[in-house]
Structures are given as C-alpha cells and as structure tokens.
Structure 1
Amino acid sequence: MNKNLLIELFVEELPPKALKKLGEAFSAVLVDSLKAQGLVGEGAQATAIATPRRLGLHLTNVAPKAADRAVQQKLMPVAVALTAEGQATPALLKKLASIGADASVLPQLKRLPDGKAEALFLDQLVPGATLAEGLQKALDESLAKLPIPKVMTYQLKDGWTDVKFVRPAHGIVALHGAELVAVSALGLQSGRTTRGHRFEASAPELTIESADSYAAQMREQGAVIAGFAERRAEIARQLQAAAAKEGLKPIEDEALLDEVTALVERPNVLTCQFEPEFLAVPQECLILTMKANQKYFPLLDAAGKLTHKFLVVSAISPADASAVIEGNERVVRPRLADAKFFFDQDRKKTLADRVPGLAKVVYHGKLGTQGERVERVRAIARAIAGLLGGGALTEQADQAALLAKSDLLTDMVGEFPELQGIMGGYYARHDGLSEAVALAVEDHYKPRFAGDELPRNEVGLVVALADKLETLVGLFGIGQLPTGDKDPFALRRHALGLVRMLSERAPTLALDALIEAAVPAFGALIQNPAGPLADFVFDRLSGSLREQGYSAQEVDAVLALRPQRLADVAARLTAVRAFAALPEAAALAAANKRIGNILKKSEEPVQAQINEALLVEPGEQHLAAALTNAKPIADGLFHNGEYAASLRELAVLKAPVDAFFDGVMVNAEDPALRANRLGLLKTLHEAMNRVAELARLAS
C-alpha cells in the first residue's frame, strides 16, 4: 500500500547563505531518484525540509516496492553465441552465468535483427526495487550531488573513521507511514528519533510517530517549523504585522529574508529602535550596516524614508522579550556610531582633494592606475557629450567624470564597497556642487544589474556610458575577454548596461561611433578592439532580446544588419513580426534568400543600377515598374522610422517577383542583359532588406 515518506538528516548548524540551495537540491535529487526507480505514484507532492539543523523531505504516495519490469536484454551476436550446429558456445554460457541464468533458458532466447546481423535476446522479469533499496540509492545520490560550499572532515564516535560533509551529522529519520525504513549514510543508521529547537523543545529527543505526524510534532513538541517555504512565509507575515502596528513598512530584501529563514527554526519578530540622531547619516549607510552586519529589517515610512525603528527575527520566544530587544538595540548602536564617524570624517575632505590619491591606486597591471583611468573616462565623456550637443553638457560631464571615483578613497566606501557612487553623490552635494553633477556621480555605475534603474539625468548618462566604454574598450584592447563562465571584470554586465542605455535613453547615438570615440583615450596602451567588441555587444543584445520573447528568426533577421542605433531595434522587431504575419511574407523571404544566393555567385561586382532600355522580357519590365513605384514610398517610410509600414509597402512586390523568376533567365548569355538583371535584383534586394534581412525569415 502506498504511504507517505519522510526522510530527515539531522546535522549541526548549516551555513545560512547556502541552506536554501542545499535543501532544494537534497529533496530534488531524492524525488527524481525515487521516481526513476518507479517508487513514486501519480500526483505525489514533495515538501522540502530545511532548517539550520536539518535537511529532509516529505513525499506523498510512495510505494513499498516498485512494480516488476519486463526487460529484453541483448546477449551477443548469434555468430558468437552459437556454433555452426546451433549449440551454445562457452562465451554464451559465461554471459548467461553473469546475469544469473544458465543453459535452461536457451529455448527462451530470441534471434532478432541487430543492424546488419542477428543477435540473441533474453526476455526477463526484473523484480522492482524495495523502498529500502530505492531510498538507499536515492540518499547516496542526493548526498553525492549536494552543492556543498565547503566540505568539513570530522570523526565518528569510534574516534577513527573520517567523514566528509558540509557539517557533522548526528541522526537520520526514515519513515514510510509509521514504518521505519532501514537506510544508512555518513556512518549513521536510520531511526525515528530527532531533536527539536536547541532551547525550546519540550524534550531533548523527539520520537516521530509517522511521516505525516512529523510537521505537527516538530512544531508542537520540537518548537520548529521544518519546511523552509513555510517558515519563510511565517517570517514575512510577522514582519508585515509588526511593521503595520507601527504604521511603517519593512524594507524588501528577498536575499535577506532567505538568509534569516536559514538562521532560525521558529521565528519571533520583535520591534527595536535606535537613537533618532543617527538618522543624520545617509540612510543607505544605516540600512546596509543593519542588513549586512546584523540581519535586521529596517522600517521605512510611507515615503520610503528610514525611521529609527527596525525589526529583529529572533530564534527564541521568551515570555518577556525585553532582554532580547535591549540586547539587539545595544548591539546595533556601535555599528551606527561607526557609520556616523565615517560620514563625519569623510566630509572633512572634498572629493576634488581626493583625486590625486587615485594615482596611487592600481586599476589594472596593463592599464595603469585609477587616476589614469579617470582621465580616460573624462576624455570619453567629453567625446560623448560632444556627440549629444556639447556646451554645458560637456563641462558638467567632465567635472562629474573627474570626481566620480573619488569616493573609493573614503572611509565609508572602504567599509561598505556597495556604497560607491552613492556616497560620492552625498559628498558632492556637501562640497557645493550642482545637483546635476551630484546625480551623475551617484548614478555613473548604473545600471549595476539586470532591471536596475538607469542614470536619472543626461550628465549621468554620459558619464555612465563613458565608464562602461572605458572598461569594455580597455579590457578588449588588451585581450582580457570573458571565457566560458569566467568574467572577472563583469564585461557581459557592462555590455548589457551599454545596450540598455543606448536603447532606452540615447536614440541618436551609434554604437560603432561610440566605440571609435573611446579608443583614442588609450593612446598606445591597446590594440583597436572595435570589431570584436561590437560583436560582443550585439551578442549580448541578441541574448537579451530572446529572453524578452522574440524568436531567434526575428532577432537574427534584424541584427544581421547590425543597426547602429540600438534604440531602433525594438521598432524593427515589431515591424518584422508584423511582416511575417502577411500572406506574402513567406514567398518574399524565400525570394530574398534566392536573390542573395544569386548575387553571391556573381563573378563580377553587381551595381544596384537598372537600364530601362535593356529590360526586354515582360517579367523584368513589370518588376522594375512595380519597384519604381513602391521603393520611394517605402524609403520615405523607412527614413521616418515607420518600419512596419515600409515593409508592408514592399509586400506588393510578391506577384511581380514570382513572375520574374517564372519568366526571366537571370544568367542570360548577353553580358549586358545579365548585368542589368543582376542590377535589378540588387536594387530589389537593397530595398527589401533595409529594416531586416528578410531571408532569415525563410524556413
């Protein structure tokens, strides 16, 4: 009879940042292995168990034994298995013995085709695995495949045997319904006893009655919420409830929520506070120190401004929580005092005064110091600002680029590198610089990651483009390209940031022109990487567009033309999708492919020119006339950015194109006629492939 299965591995405190992944991997491999062995019934539900001191799985509808399976086993070729008289050879008898059979099965063997020859096959009924056998195999696989960040070596109680695992393990529970399943791992034998909360369990050990009683027993007797997802949801609920009592909201941080879930077995959210005078420090500093160092949840008001209250997820639930609250308030105070000290000290020196110090900070062995890098970013920023109009923009971009890296030398950024740029903005305002420059200093790293916001003003956009271009051009120029999954300088992320800024905020800037504008800043330090770098950027763009839902055909058709204004790409893709839906699309795509092949095979260069006097066949006359009528209209629509309308206008050419190929011999014997027909096709090809390379849409 199918019953529910429980397996729990009890261990010492697991690394919190890895717990979620460990729990998911442990349960997933168990489930997959048990299913592969035929031990799991239809519609089975799996619940992963992961707390600071346990990994496990609750799985419904598990069979005590897998069904027997009929299998047909290939033995060996007939020529090897049987003598000329049809008797079994020693090789066949040895093979049978190896699979637990003997000569008595010879009448059951089947001769079946096997390629060009025949082979002998034996039909067997293979007994299904018992749950104990299957679970042992699944457990061994799961432990072998765990993504352990760092392995520990420890000794068993015998004092001699070494075991390697993420943390020392002390017990295994394995129950099928109420029945014990005998398995072993890490030097331990399975039983039905485990331990609950380190301080609040009702007894030192808990005896689990059945797989289905586990969750309730752990909660009621063990003071543990065993399921990671359930415990996470409970923490989120308590955070919202505690914040609502104060009329505030907790900061949203999924990674912090995961980490805190991995630190407690039964959460108890408490409200604490610190002295309001610390709020004079930029809230990013206070929030970061509370989250990173203490795992606290700062509370924000309705406007998103930090308040002097915060939430703690405690691992204990005493009747009087005042001591816990006071302890957390006492611990956070020196952290906030350090942040205030750093902020006060940093403001004693201006950003401009820190610039010379960047000459002592190494950026890259082949590309010099941060000071030299700043000068390159300034030069590139001035060039980009010139492309956008120059004037005041050039002056502000130059000033922001000069100061953007200065906060790397501040105490605050030294303590919290995540605040680089952000603190520069605060210090720029303190130094009396314009808001445009302060925002640019703050935003010049943006976008820092996928989905991050872009720079908020034009000065910030220019400096952010210059900063990313300096990194990309410099590292490509010295051959420091990403390889496989290794990308130590985050060049893929820089390229995607460049793509986003050009696509969403800089419609007039051309990619090749930007790269060429950046190269002179390096002088003789690098080789010009324009070609490989452009390929890299378009490759990143291609991947991004496919992730957004565009088909490979659509993306390839548009990017084959290497459109330099990336802001046009979305409109071109929309146009291609609309064109592909037209009844004429398939025939025109195929015709474009055919035309492209014809032009490639031409032995002489083909000019997109038509001599009407040489149009002698009706098919070429009609095509030339239709093209003459449609092309000016399509070109006008293309220049106005109306790409879909431009392609729609050219769809009328289907009938004359079909008629041309049906009635006209392109490779005429007369060289003049042949050249003119090729010129007609070249003119048609150029007209139809301005938005995208339509041949890529041909199936």
Structure 2
Amino acid sequence: MANKNLLVELFVEELPPKALKKLGESFSGVLLEQLKAQGLATADSKLTAFASPRRLAAHITNVAAQGADKAVSQKLMPVSVGLDASGNASPALLKKLQALGADASAVPGLKRAMDGKAEALFYDSTVKGAKLAEGLQKALHESLAKLPIPKIMTYQLQDGWSDVKFVRPAHGLVALHGSEVVPVHALGLQSGRSTQGHRFEAAKATVSLDDADSYAATLEKDGAVIAGFEARRAEIVRQLEAAAAKVGGGARPIEDEALLDEVTALVERPNVLVCEFEKEFLAVPQECLILTMKANQKYFPLLDAQGKLTNKFLLVSNIRPQDASAVTGGNERVVRPRLADAKFFFDQDRKKTLESRVAGLAKVVYHNKLGTQGERIERVRAIAKVIGAQLGSDHLAHQADTAARLAKADLLTDMVGEFPELQGIMGGYYARHDQLGDDVASAIEDHYRPRFAGDALPRNDVGVVVALADKLETLAGLFAIGQLPTGDKDPFALRRHALGIVRMLMERDLPLNLGDLVVEALGLFPQAQPGTAEQLTDFIYDRLAGSLREQGYSAQEVDAVLALKPQRLGDVAKRLAAVRAFAALPEAPALAAANKRISNILKKAEQADAHVNPQLLKEEAEKALYEATQKIAPQAGTRFDAGDYTGSLQALAALRGPVDAFFDDVMVNAEEADLRLNRLGLLATLHQAMNRVADLSRLAQ
C-alpha cells in the first residue's frame, strides 16, 4: 500500500497563550519522532506544525499504513543452561521459546555466539511491522504525555464519572491518513474527520475535512481560522505594517517579539485596527504608556519616525466586522483608565523628591541575611566612591556617590510599585524633575544595565561606576552568604550580573583591577569566609570564558589567555588577538610544546627560581639559549609593557631554535646540584619571558 500524508488534530478550549508555541512544537515533534521510531514515518517525512488558540495539529508526509517487518535476534540463555550434554533442549529453553511463540522445532535453528566469556543461544525471528492505528495510538499517547504543560487542570467527561487531566478540556480529535480516518483515541475522544472553526465567524458550524492535505485550506475557508502559528504571525506583521503605513508620518509599530508571539496565540483570524487616545497623556513618560498598553492590553503602540510615542496604537482583533467602530471605540474606552492611572502615578510621584524617599529604604528588606535596601545602598556607595576615585576625579566620585544614594529611591514610588519593570527608568525621570543634572539622572536610569545579553551599557562614566558598584555588591553579598547558582538555577541572576561587569570592564577598557574590585566589595560583608574572593573571581572568569567562546574564540585561545587571570579585562581582547597571531607562526607549535614541557619540569622541581649563573653554563646549547633569552626577553618585555602584545609574542618566535637545541643536547636534571638548579633557573627565566601575554603551553596539541 502506498504511503500517504497524515493529519492529526486535537481540538481544545483556549490554550495558555504564552505556552502555545512550545505546545504546538512539542505535540507535532514528538508525534513525528515516535512514528519514525516505529518505522511508520521515514527520514524524508516532512512535518508541518499547527497551533492556534483552540487546536494543536501536525501534518506529516510519507507515512506508511504499516511499518516494514524487522529481523530481531534475541538472546535466550547460556548454552550450558539451554542444552544438555547431548545437545537436547532443557525445560528452561523450551519454556523460553514457548513464551516467544516458538516450540522445540526452533532449537536446531538457534544460533550460538559468545556473550562475554560464555557462549549463549540466540533466537532469530521476524517481527511484523506496526500498523498505523496502533503505532499512531502509541505516538499520540507519548506526544500528550510529553507536552510542556504549564499547569494541568482536571475536568469530567460527558459520562459524568470519568475525569481527565490535561491543560484544557479537549472536545475533538482528528486523525486522517490520506482521506481515511485512523481509529485512535485520546482524552476520552474517538478520532474522526470533523473539527470546529472560529467561534463567531466560521462559515460552517462543523468543518469536515476531506483529507489530510486539505486541512489548512479547508479550515481557513470554512472555519475562518489560520491554523499555522507562523502563518498567522506573518499575517499579523503584514497587517501591522500596512496599518502603520496608512497612519503615515513614518509611523511604525513597536518591535516586541514576545508580544507578537502572545498576540498570535490569542487570535485565530487576526484583524489589525487603528485606535487612538488623548494627546494629553503623552506628557507621561512614554515607557509607562508603552508598558501599560503592551502588558495589560496587548496593544502595539505606534512610534513616529524619531522613535517617539504617538497617540495612536494598533489593536489585533479576533473578528472582522463590517463596521469596526464599536471594536475600536470599546478598546479606546478600556485603555483610557489605564493611561489615566499612569498619569496619576506620575503626577503624585513628582510631589516628593527622590532624596526624601531615601530614608524609607531603611524599612525595605533586601535579603534577610543582608539587611535592608538602605544598608545595601550604603555598600553600593562605598564601592562606587572607590571606583570613581580610581577612574577619574573627585567630581566623578561625588557624582557617582549621589547617583548611588538615589538609585533605589524609585522603588518607593507609585509608578514602580505598579510597574516594577520601570525601576531605574522612573528614577531617571524623577531625578531630572528634581534638577539633579543629566549625568546623575542618566546614571540612575542606567545603573541596571546591561539588563540582558546585547543590552546597551550605561551612557556615561557616572552610570558605569554605579552599575559596576551595584553588580559587585550583589555578587559579593550573595557569595558571602553562600547563595551561589547551581546547575541551570540562578534565581538572583548572578551570571547576568557577572557578564555585565565583564562587558563594562572590557568594552569601556577601564583601568581597573578585577581582583581588587572583588576584595573591596567583599570587605563590606563580614559574613564572607576565607576563599570567597577567589571563588567569586573564578566565577567571573568562567562567565568571561563562556562569553569569549560564544564570540568565536577557540577554547585553546581562551584558556591560554585566562590561565594567567589578567586583572585588567580591557586587555583580554588584545591578548587574544596576539595569541591568534602567534599561533599562525610556523614556530608556534614547537614553542608551545616546549613551554608545556618546561611547565611540567618546573612543577616537579623542588627549587627553581628565575636566576642564572653564567659561570655554571657548560654546554654550548645552554649557553646559546641563555644568550638568546638575554637578548630576546627584554625586546618582548618592552613591547609587552607598551601594550603591543602581538609584537611581544612574535619576538619570542626567535627562541625556537635555541630551545629545541637545549632539549636535544642538555640534561636538565644533572647529577650535580648546582648545574641542575642553574638549568632550572634558566628554564624558569625562559618560562617567565614566554608567558606574560598568555600561557602558551595551553596551545600545545
């Protein structure tokens, strides 16, 4: 029988919108995986996943009505147990064969093969391929069992006795192989060929599907539903862009992938409409208005060509009435109180200065082991003062102290109480209202940055200082009390904080010593145990290593540079470039291997300081190496001190010949103690000279 395409649909009540995309991908993906495992789908079978607010479906091509037969070899038992001395079958063997549907006539055909140290009997048989109905039943069961359901509900079936546990009540099951119904069941439902369309706009109350391939087209034509998640999303994007173009003036909808996914999961037949609100609300910070429209109403605010919020927004409706005025008017009435609340909060908050709110932070608990936000602010201020003094003048330190003192004050405002996502942002607005100056206001706004991968860094030096101090205080405090990330769990986002520190130190090329910063921050926490500074520093270097590998540097390059734990992270990129250039030299492999050999020798040596007595150099090879080191090491050192790391490493290439000759002709561990220590001192001197930029031994294969 020829292979046909398969369609499976589960029709349910409205699914959780934020989970819909993953539910659809999982449902269809596991179905295909299970059908392939049973030989019912092939490697060439193509999957099309469908997910709408009220359905999960999968279309799979090239599905067989029955899987191919399989040859199976099954181990029975050791020969010594299955056969007696005369080669006759034992009762145990006959019983085993009977369980497999065979009898004594199968004994002569049994195969013998070694299984470990003993010879065993194997029974070869052919297993009939699974029929589609039974194979799909198993696949459907697995698919439903593995759904990433955020929260399960329990509901009763129509018989009034049985109950089902699932994400939402299910009302229909479709399973079509070509045009034929595949008899399967799930969640108390039997499969058929009919489903339901849009609640209000379907052309037919019941949508009957002729075959698997007509699913999407029939559902759109008779059911007024765009079944595919991506197809529906693309249609929403098209309509959003068309509506914005119609508004004119360079208007564009705000870009928000998460909002777009959520709205796609809320509508079956998208219809984008233009709405507006009173211009007086534009006096409120646009972040507040945008957030309330997106978070509470799922609207797409419209921005002008300069990125400023307009008084128009786009609504994605689930219906297409001839006269949409009732829909737009209703949504305009709904959004007005939301915007009025935001305006009220903004007006009320500005009646008090940020400075007047600082005292209230002493009553806000930060962490039960780390005290209040007020205590935390004092620690951030202390770190900020130190960083500010190191980076610049007393003026920078003073501004950083002011910004640090006021950075968390907006936590006590009504606006941030309603919208926690606006913390920092509102502090910046209120600081400008209090006439604290743009540098301080921007620093308060930016001190949470970078909030996520790819986020911008603080705009000015004051912001960088406060952001560094804030993140260092967080890391130091939580490490001091042992609240470290474990596995994939990082409830305090410490990995993100560490990456933020790394990015600021590197991208701003700040002349700051990482180890000193960690010690300074941990000094504010009496709870810190010995070794915490090293633990926290290693944690930051681990984050740096991961970030560098993601940027395309090889593990060897990263290991070579970070093995030295460079304290100024702004140098790391230059060191990596130098290592990459060095590794391309023909001398690099031999020098890296020699460096690794030197490292191993020095580790085993009891006494080895970088001191050489020229009078004790006996062999020509060690004299040549000493002379080459005396000449080349200062050249490499001068370039290193000037920040020319590439030139420093390339200068070392001239050492390859003397190094190779030394190891060929000189016995390092000489019997005479003075010769041995002198040669170890020569190697230690060489090791120091070679490993200032990076640990070159890490480049050895």
Asked if residue 665 in structure 1 is aligned to residue 667 in structure 2, the reply is yes
Picking from 652, 665, 678, the partner of 2:654 is 652
1:183-214 Cα distance to aligned partner (Å, 9 max, x none): 11111111111000011111221111100111
Listed one character per residue, the Cα deviations across residues 57-111 of structure 1 (whole Å, up to 9, x for unaligned) are: 0111112121112222222211111111111112211221222222121121111
SS class of match (1:41):
coil
Q: Is the 8 A contact 2:509 2:571 kept in 1?
A: no
Post-superposition Cα deviations, 1:522-569, rounded to whole Å, max 9, x if no partner, equal 4x3544631111011111111111222222222111111111111111
Give the residue type in structure 1 aligned to 2:435.
Answer: G
Please give the alpha-carbon distance, in whole angstroms, between the structure 2 residues aligned to 1:144 and 1:261. 25
Amino acid at match of 1:126: V
Aligned residue identity for 1:385: G
Judge conservation of contact 1:384–1:517 (CA < 8 Å) in 2.
Answer: no
1:586 correspondence with 2:578: no
Q: Is the Cα contact below 8 Å between 1:285 and 1:419 reproduced in 2?
A: yes
Asked if 1:144 is matched to 2:145, the reply is yes
> Who is 2:216 aligned against?
215
Aligned partner of 1:160 in structure 2 is 161
Equivalent residue for 2:439? 436
Partner SS for 1:136: helix
Q: Is the 8 A contact 1:367 1:525 kept in 2?
A: no
| SS class of match (2:310) | strand
CA displacement, residues 582-615 of structure 1 (integer Å, 9 cap, x when unaligned): 2222221111111111111112x21111111111
Give, in whole Å, the separation in 2 of the partners of 1:4 and 1:570. 54
The one-letter code matched in structure 2 to 1:501 is M
| Counterpart selection for 2:568 from 565, 568, 584 | 565
Equivalent residues of 1:218, 1:226 under 8 A apart: yes
Aligned partners of 2:455 and 2:469: how far apart in 1? 18
Structure 2 residue aligned with 1:546, among 541, 545, 549?
549
Helix, strand or coil: the match of 1:610?
A: coil
What secondary structure, in the 3-state scheme, does the structure 1 residue paired with 2:56 have? strand
Structure 1 residue 505: Cα displacement? 1.3
Corresponding position of 2:245: 244
Q: Which residue of 2 aligns with 1:79?
A: 80
CA apart distance, 1:306? 0.3
Residue identity in the other structure for 1:175: L
Q: Does 1:694 align with 2:696?
A: yes
Match of 1:629 in 2: 631
The CA RMSD measured in Å over matched residues stands at 1.2
Q: What does residue 9 of structure 2 align with? A: 8
Give the corresponding residue for 1:504. 507
Contact 1:666/1:677 (<8 A) preserved: yes
Name the structure 2 match of 1:641: 643
Report the TM-score when normalising by structure 1: 0.98
SS in 2 for 1:122: strand
Question: Distance in 2 between the 1:566 and 1:118 partners?
Answer: 63
Partner of 1:126: 127
Separation in 2 of the partners of 1:91 and 1:648?
75
Deviates more, 1:499-508 or 1:226-235: 499-508
Whole-Å Cα distance in 2 between the matches of residues 184 and 395 of structure 1?
A: 72
1:362 corresponds, among 361, 365, 368, to 365
How far did residue 521 of structure 1 move?
Answer: 3.2
User: What is the SS of the residue equivalent to 1:213?
Assistant: helix
For 1:80 and 1:571, locate their aligned partners in 2 and report how far apart those are by CA, in whole Å. 70
2:52 and 2:229 in contact (8 A); partners too? yes
Higher mean C-alpha deviation, range 402-411 or range 95-104: 95-104
Structure 1, unaligned runs of 5 or more:
none
Secondary structure of the equivalent of 1:65? coil
Paired letter, 1:78: V
Give SS of 2:464's match. Answer: helix
* 1:407-426 superposed matches below 5 A: 407-426=410-429
Write the deviation string for residues 569-592 of structure 1: whole angstroms up to 9, x where unpaired.
122222222222222222211111
Secondary structure, counterpart of 2:191 in structure 1: strand
2-structure distance, mates of 1:573, 1:84: 72
Q: Aligned partners of 1:81 and 1:482: how far apart in 2?
A: 56
- The answer to whether the aligner puts 1:318 opposite 2:318 as a matched pair is no
| 8 Å contact from structure 1 (residues 223, 266) kept in 2 | yes
1:608 pairs with 610, 626, 641, which one?
Answer: 610
Residue number among 373, 376, 389 corresponding to 1:373 in the alignment: 376
Mapped to 2, the partners of 1:34 and 1:577 lie a distance apart of 48
1:120 to partner: Cα distance: 1.1
Partners of 2:356 and 2:112 lie apart in 1 by 90
Question: CA 1:18 to 1:561, structure 2 compared with 1: closer, same or farther past 3 Å?
Answer: same
1:644 Cα deviation after fit: 2.0
- CA drift of 1:491 comes to 0.9
SS in 1 for 2:44: coil
Deviation at 1:260, TM superposition (A): 0.2
Shift, 1:465, TM fit: 0.4
SS at match of 2:80: helix
The answer on whether the counterparts of 1:507 and 1:568 sit within 8 Å (CA) in structure 2 is no
What amino acid maps onto 1:204 in structure 2?
Answer: A
One-letter code aligned to 2:102: A
Distance, in Å, in 1 between the alignment partners of 2:6 and 2:510 is 59
How do 1:277-356 residues align onto structure 2 when only pairs under 5 Å count? 277-356=280-359
Cα offset for 1:442?
Answer: 0.3
CA distance in 2, matches of 1:220, 1:76: 62
Contact 1:194/1:207, CA 8 A, preserved across alignment:
yes
Contact preservation (8 Å) 1:197, 1:222:
yes
Aligned counterpart in structure 2 of residue 678 of structure 1, from 663, 680, 697: 680
Q: Are the counterparts in 1 of residues 472 and 518 from structure 2 also a CA contact under 8 Å? A: yes
Contact 2:36 2:43 in 1 (8 A): no
Which amino acid counterpart does residue 620 of structure 1 have in structure 2? E
Q: Which residue of 1 aligns with 2:409?
A: 406
Matches within 5 A, 1:505-520: 505-520=508-523
Are the equivalent residues in 1 in contact too, given 2:253–2:302 (CA < 8 A)? yes
CA–CA distance in 2 between the matches of 1:473 and 1:447?
A: 18
* Shift of residue 54, structure 1, vs aligned partner: 0.4
8 Å Cα contact 2:277-2:312 kept in structure 1:
yes
**Deviation of 1:42 (Å):** 4.2
CA distance in 2: counterparts of 1:519 and 1:238, whole angstroms:
54
Pairwise mapping of residues 49-88 of structure 1 onto structure 2 (< 5 A)?
49-88=50-89
Among candidates 573, 576, 579, match of residue 576 of structure 1: 579
The range that moved more, 627-636 or 450-459, is: 627-636
Mapped partners of 1:641, 1:229: distance in 2 = 51
2:99 is the alignment partner of 1:89:
no
- Counterpart of 1:268 (choices 262, 268, 271) is 271
Identity of paired residues, percent? Answer: 73
Query: Partner letter of residue 607 of structure 1?
Result: D
Instruction: Report the alpha carbon displacement of residue 237 of structure 1 after superposing the two structures with TM.
Output: 0.8
CA displacement 1:471-530 (0-9 Å, x = unmatched): 1111111112122222221111111111111111143111001112223334x3544631
Aligned partner of 2:231 in structure 1 is 230
Task: Find the counterpart in structure 2 of residue 462 from structure 1.
Answer: 465
Q: Please give the alpha-carbon distance, in whole angstroms, between the structure 2 residues aligned to 1:569 and 1:183.
A: 61
Would the aligned equivalents of 1:42 and 1:61 in 2 still touch at CA under 8 Å?
no
**Is 451-460 or 576-585 further displaced after alignment?**
576-585
Alignment partner, residue 116 of structure 1: 117
Note the alpha carbon deviations across 1:98-148, whole angstroms, 9 max, x for none.
Answer: 222221211211111222221111222221111112211111111111110
Q: Which amino acid aligns with 1:184?
A: H
How many residues get paired?
A: 697
Match of 1:28? Answer: 29
So what's the TM-score if we normalise by structure 2? 0.98
Q: SS state of the match for residue 213, structure 2? A: coil
AA partner of residue 376 (structure 1): R
Q: Distance in 2 between matches of 1:82 and 1:327?
A: 85
